[in-house]
Amino acid sequence: MDKFTQHTGVGVPLRRSNVDTDQIIPAVYLKRVTRSGFEDGLFSAWRNDPDFVLNDPAYAGCSVLVAGPDFGTGSSREHAVWALQNYGFKAVVSSRFADIFRGNSGKAGLLAAQVDEKVVQKLWDLLEAQPGATVTVDLESRTVRAGEGPDAIEDSFDIDDYTRWRLLEGLDDIGITLGHADDITAYEQTRPRWKPATLHA
Amino acid sequence: MGATRTARTLAEKVWDEHVVRSTEGEPDLLFIDLHLIHEVTSPQAFDGLRLAGRQVRRPDLTLATEDHNVPTVDWDKPIADPVSKTQVDTLRRNAEEFGVRLHPLGDVEQGIVHVVGPQLGLTQPGMTIVCGDSHTSTHGAFGAIAFGIGTSEVEHVLATQTLMQAKPKTMAVTISGSLPAGVTAKDMVLTLIAHTGTGGGQGYIVEYRGQAIEELSMEGRMTVCNMSIEWGAKAGLIAPDQTTFDYIEGRPEAPKGEDWDAAVAHWKTLVTDDDAEYDKEIVLDAAEMTPFVTWGTNPGQGVPLGSAVPDPASYDDESDRVAAQKALEYMGLEAGTPMREVKVDTVFVGSCTNGRIEDLRLAAEIIKGRTVDPDTRLLVVPGSVRVRLQAEQEGLDVVFKDAGAEWRGAGCSMCLGMNPDTLQPGERSASTSNRNFEGRQGKGGRTHLVSVPVAAATAVRGTLSSPADLA
Ligand code: SF4
């Protein structure tokens, strides 16, 4: 995984709450067996609407999504994270993420930055007033910044220490865990024999 | 959850039993007792293993089945959709290459992953169970910590049989009293979610308890735990009791003889200690519950069947108001319309929420001797092949077919509309599944989540109904 320290890119205001993973990518797009190519299904139901924000050329090349609360609820599909990444997003800013989505983002290298609801509101207002404006997410200092002058927005975001460290270092989780293989083996020896197994000798 | 507390909740006990490694400032490394796999969320995980030259650490704790993307008709023929076929074939190849037990389409143990685990007796109290599917919470009904994971985590479990997890907080949901006749576990959980909102359980492992929970069958408990994720909970579980032991005993993978005795002795310790503390508690009274249905586009947007579509203006919170407005537009509903007047095109009975034998018996009991409304389609999809065969042995399939319903093969089907079983744009369903998100059952489809009795009565009347409405 690539290291993530800071990213600056065009921000998109997605003025919706409860954006579940079926909205991010519907089930019919989940038939692929690769991790790429899911951008075609991203927000597919809304992309037909010419007024949908991603269809506005002013936000072309966007890479920071700013969404309402309860983003990524529902299905555990990591395809939702891949679809956002395949489309070009590096970070999602929201006031509340569903647990599984947040976990998946951390594993796949998409930054899920949780901010206060007021910050989302301010970012929406700014990005709508100045389409194409950039947003910076700084993982080192856990801050989100946008705009200039008196209207500039600067606030902190939440991310758990462990995920932050892994993203900053670009570390592979499995590699870390395999470093503790002895602990796993020791644990396995303590399991009671009546625990079920799927294969029988 | 303070590890220093001596009195512990059920969730804390199960968690503590699975900690492989615990270090300050890092998530716990948890051992996983059972890893369930299906065709949609596993291909990229197996690919990752191959790329890194890794093996599946414990194929003997791994079980695969085909469910999300398989047809429920012509299951004995090759899968027609080439892209779906590739996905299913990929699972078959991966299972073979890595030595994982697979129940493919056509096998007698095939079915929805959350129906298959309990039915084989693989789901037992005190376990940790994961699957690349959010409704893994279903298995919590047995007193297990069970939760959904993403594909990167699937790969992690395949390679290490562990997961890194931060210890969640614990919550108790106490449902006191008894459910009135005709009110089911599904109504209970829909009422709860409307009460908490879709984010109310976030960050918690929830323990459901109280008289009404104890009185539920295992099927009912699975329905409640299944929908834990719909209010954002990490997992939901119920303390094992005699009902649990009776359900497991004699199943193919249940412990036998002395092992059974040892297992039950341990399972009996899996209860919350009297003086243990939860981080949060919610109490609801079952006696006040009634058949409950959703009107909107998330599972928290529900009302009693006897009431009307709510007016968005009645919400104090602005984001709730906007969400309600958007939901009504999508659903094609007018505020104030009595729910009982909402006309339904398709009724779906099935899914890991309500696709077990008890659900099909209940539906058949209501349908028997009646016919499905001529403008309505009723689709009955058993959760597993075993459920289908049991139902056919009891003659339930004949009851459904005589009434004009479609009797299908096992799978997820219209729960997520990944196979050909979908709603058409604008079509409206009453569904016993768990999600009413926009487009969940097919692009433009409109879903009302309902209990099994409401689904059956709705199929007969053509509008949202309960069995009490049937003359
Ligand atoms: S029945 Fe529905 S909710 Fe259950 S596993 Fe299948 S798709 Fe998921």
Q: What angle do CA B451, B456, B457 make, to 5 degrees?
A: 100
Of B47, B150, B319, the CB nearest to A68: B319
Q: What is the DSSP string of chain A?
A: ----SEEEEEEEEE--S--BHHHHS-GGGTT-SSSS-GGGGTTHHHHTSTTSGGG-GGGTT--EEEE-SSBTBS---THHHHHHHHHT--EEEES-B-HHHHHHHHHHT-EEEE--HHHHHHHHHHHHHSTT-EEEEETTTTEEEE--GGG-EEEE-B--HHHHHHHHHT--HHHHHHTTHHHHHHHHHHS-TTS--SS--
ipTM, 2 dp: 0.93
Cα-based torsion angle of the residue sequence A154, A159, A162, A168 in order, rounded to the nearest 10 degrees: -40
Whether pLDDT at B319 is above 90: no
CB A139 within 8 A of CB A168: yes
CB contact under 8 A, B150 and A104: yes
Residue range B168-172: average pLDDT? 97
Q: B-chain residues within 8 Å CB-CB of A96? A: 199, 202
How far apart are alpha carbons A121 and A110 in whole angstroms?
A: 22
Q: Does B238 touch chain A (CB under 8 A)?
A: no
CB contact under 8 A, A174 and B54: yes
Query: How far is residue A43 from each of residues A23, A47, A108, B381, B439, measured CA to CA in Å?
Result: 6, 6, 19, 29, 11
Structure confidence by residue, pLDDT tens digits, B116-138: 999 999 999 999 999 999 999 99
How confident is the prediction for chain A on average, in pLDDT? Answer: 95
CB contact under 8 A, A33 and B43: yes
Q: Which residues of A144-182 are buried (b: 16+ CB within 10 A; e: fewer)?
A: bbbbeeeeebebebebeeebbebbeeeebbbebbbebee
Q: Does B211 touch chain A (CB under 8 A)?
A: no
pLDDT at A1: 77
Q: Which residue has the tokens 């492989």?
A: B20
How far apart are alpha carbons B132 and B227 in whole angstroms?
A: 16
pLDDT at B1: 46
Find, among A163, A137, A95, A187, the residue nearest to A10 by Cα: A137
pLDDT at B3: 47
Percent of chain B scoring above 90 in pLDDT = 93
How far apart are alpha carbons A49 and B328 in whole angstroms?
A: 18
Q: Which residue has the tokens 């966007």?
A: A62
Whether pLDDT at B394 is above 70: yes
Of B40, B150, B159, the CB nearest to A30: B40
How far apart are alpha carbons B216 and A136 in whole angstroms?
A: 51
Mutate to test the pocket of ligand 1, among B137, B356, B434, B447 (most ligand atoms within 8 A of CB): B434
Structure confidence by residue, pLDDT tens digits, B192-216: 999 999 999 999 999 999 999 999 9
How far apart are alpha carbons B11 and B274 in whole angstroms?
A: 14
Radius of gyration of chain B (CA): 22
Whether pLDDT at B340 is above 50: yes
The number of residues making up chain B comes to 471
Q: Which residue has the tokens 């080439």?
A: B82
CA of B221 to the centre of ligand 1 (A): 17
Q: Which residues of A56-79 are buried (b: 16+ CB within 10 A; e: fewer)?
A: eeebeebbbbbbbbbbbbbbbbbb
Q: A-chain residues within 8 Å CB-CB of B259? A: 193-194
Whether pLDDT at B42 is above 50: yes
Q: Which residue has the tokens 């799978």?
A: B411
Residue range B317-336: average pLDDT? 94
Structure confidence by residue, pLDDT tens digits, B343-375: 999 999 999 999 999 999 999 999 999 999 999
Q: Does A67 touch chain B (CB under 8 A)?
A: no
Residue B213, SS3? helix
Find, among B336, B384, B382, the residue nearest to B361 by Cα: B382
| pLDDT band with cut points at 50, 70 and 90 for residue B250 | very high
Query: Which two structure tokens, joined as six digits, stand for B450?
Result: 């309902």
Whether pLDDT at B4 is above 80: no
3-state helix, strand, coil in chain B (%, to 5): 40, 20, 45
Residue B429, SS3? strand
pLDDT at B6: 86
pLDDT at A8: 98
Q: Does B298 touch chain A (CB under 8 A)?
A: yes
Task: For residue A72, give how far its alpha carbon lies from the nearest alpha carbon of chain B (Å).
Answer: 10
| pLDDT band with cut points at 50, 70 and 90 for residue B328 | very high
- Longest C-alpha distance within chain A, in Å? 71
Structure confidence by residue, pLDDT tens digits, A64-75: 999 999 999 999
How far apart are alpha carbons B158 and A173 in whole angstroms?
A: 13
Task: For residue A23, give how far its alpha carbon lies from the nearest alpha carbon of chain B (Å).
Answer: 7
pLDDT at B5: 56
Q: B-chain residues within 8 Å CB-CB of A181? A: 160
Task: For residue B366, give how far its alpha carbon lies from the nearest alpha carbon of chain A (Å).
Answer: 31
Q: How many CA atoms lie within 13 A of A159 on its CB side?
A: 30
Which residues lie closer than 8 Å to A96 by C-beta, 6 or more apart?
A69, A70, A71, A114, B199, B202
How far apart are alpha carbons B137 and B147 in whole angstroms?
A: 5
CB contact under 8 A, A198 and B122: yes
How far apart are alpha carbons B212 and B210 in whole angstroms?
A: 6
pLDDT at B419: 83
Q: How far is CA A121 from the centre of its chain?
A: 19
pLDDT at B417: 86
Structure confidence by residue, pLDDT tens digits, A29-51: 999 999 999 999 999 999 999 99
Whether pLDDT at A172 is above 90: no
How far apart are alpha carbons B49 and B34 in whole angstroms?
A: 19
Structure confidence by residue, pLDDT tens digits, B447-461: 999 999 999 999 999
How far apart are alpha carbons B46 and B55 in whole angstroms?
A: 9
Could you count the other beta carbons within 10 Å of the beta carbon of residue B326? 17
How confident is the prediction for chain B on average, in pLDDT? Answer: 96
Task: For residue A172, give how far its alpha carbon lies from the nearest alpha carbon of chain B (Å).
Answer: 10
How far apart are alpha carbons B405 and B397 in whole angstroms?
A: 9
